[in-house]
Amino acid sequence: MNKEITKKILEAAVMAPSGDNVQPWKFEVSENFTQIDLYNLPDKDNSYYNYQQAASYIAHGAVIENILIAAGHLGCHAEYQLFPDTLDATYVAKIILSPAQAQADPLYPAIFERNTNRFQYKRTEVTKEVLDALLFSVKNIQTANVSLVHQKDKIKQLAKELMVNDRIVFERKDIHGFLFDKIRWNQKQIEETKDGMPLGVLGLSFIERMAFPLLRFWWYVKTANIFGLSRIIGLKCWWSCRNTSLLGMISIKGNDKLAFVQGGRAMQRVWLEATVQGFAMQPIIGLTLLINRFKQGALHDFSVKHTQFVSCAAEKLPELFGVDKSETLIMGFRVGRGLSIKVKTARKEIESRID
């Protein structure tokens, strides 16, 4: 295999999304560049959401999908095996590359264009062609399902359920602390870490951006919550979802680590297709990860109120999205026409991620 092609494949791989842009992966490449070994770095994401590494496995699924798309586009055939070593829980995938005829893939450029757009969207009509394209995007992942809702009445009902996570973030010290640890406040921090989230990607208005630095202090947030801060933050999410063109949910059959990896592949394909179609997209994944913990009886240290929030969402979301309750919810999302993003999250250089 050509070294430069393998490097381009890896450059596409690391453009995958991960929770708060923690990038929980490491690559090992064989000397002849025909094998890529993908490893999980558990210490990269110790958030409450990453129960049994579910969030990281979703991110690894997106990495694998980027590799598959890039390989075919650049003239390689890629085959992968998940968790090939039962004695090494961090060994996520073995990917074998071989020469093949290059086949242009419209999703390949979208790998580098895709971003999270947290700004308010302008509600526009979503055509049947776009809906079909999003549904069709996961056809090669048999265990995956995409549910889409564009009817205004259902969107209003869903918005009430999807706002829950944003409120919880500002009512739990541990979740709040992890989020603000991953925010990059200036260009120096961005260049030093090459991870986390710059302020410019958070979808803040001018006024919000001026006040936001105060929210990193838990004592301030705790005091402000007395006056309704967390409820206001939840209402912003509600308003964003209520006025979007389309709400969606990705689900997967099964609930083990293989299922979460496949769910990550499906997530990435839907996101890339939305990018190709010219739509902005924001994932709503924290809530689905909390629902996963709830179903496993693992909402440790959650208050009765917060447990009820998650329990209600676990009941309502499958019903409103028309998802079989036996399936695992991977990620909700909203789609619409939004402001263009001028700032993007950084990625660590390929050389620093390869052994």
Checking if the pLDDT of 351 tops 80, the result is: no
249: containing domain: 115-338
At 355, the pLDDT band (50, 70, 90 cuts) reads: low
Q: Note whether 121 and 233 are same-domain residues.
A: yes
Q: What is the mean pLDDT of residues 45-51?
A: 97
Q: Note whether 95 and 140 are same-domain residues.
A: no
Q: Note whether 102 and 133 are same-domain residues.
A: no
Residue 57 maps to which CATH number? Answer: 3.40.109.10
- Amino acid type, 134: L
Asked, for residue 105, whether it belongs to a domain, the answer is: yes
- Compute the distance between CA of residue 75 and CA of residue 78 in angstroms, rounded to an integer: 10
pLDDT at site 340: 82
At 353, the pLDDT band (50, 70, 90 cuts) reads: low
Q: Note whether 119 and 102 are same-domain residues.
A: no
Q: Note whether 88 and 123 are same-domain residues.
A: no
Asked, for residue 355, whether it belongs to a domain, the answer is: no
Residues paired with 89 in a beta bridge:
none
Q: How far is CA 261 from CA 56, 57, 268, 351, in A?
A: 9, 5, 11, 24
- Compute the distance between CA of residue 97 and CA of residue 35 in angstroms, rounded to an integer: 6
Checking if the pLDDT of 229 tops 80, the result is: yes
Q: Note whether 137 and 70 are same-domain residues.
A: no
Q: Note whether 27 and 41 are same-domain residues.
A: yes
Asked, for residue 15, whether it belongs to a domain, the answer is: yes
Residue corresponding to tokens 């798309």: 69
Q: Note whether 175 and 263 are same-domain residues.
A: yes
pLDDT at site 123: 85
DSSP string covering 56-68: HHHHHHHHHHHHH
Q: Note whether 62 and 129 are same-domain residues.
A: no
pLDDT at site 343: 87
Checking if the pLDDT of 58 tops 80, the result is: yes
Total domains in the chain come to: 2
Q: How far is CA 27 from CA 50, 80, 94, 262, in A?
A: 21, 14, 10, 19
Q: Note whether 38 and 124 are same-domain residues.
A: no
Tell me the pLDDT of the chain averaged across its residues: 95
Q: Which of 112, 141, 172 is the last residue of a domain?
A: 112
pLDDT in tens, 156-207: 999 999 999 999 999 999 999 999 999 999 999 999 999 999 999 999 999 9
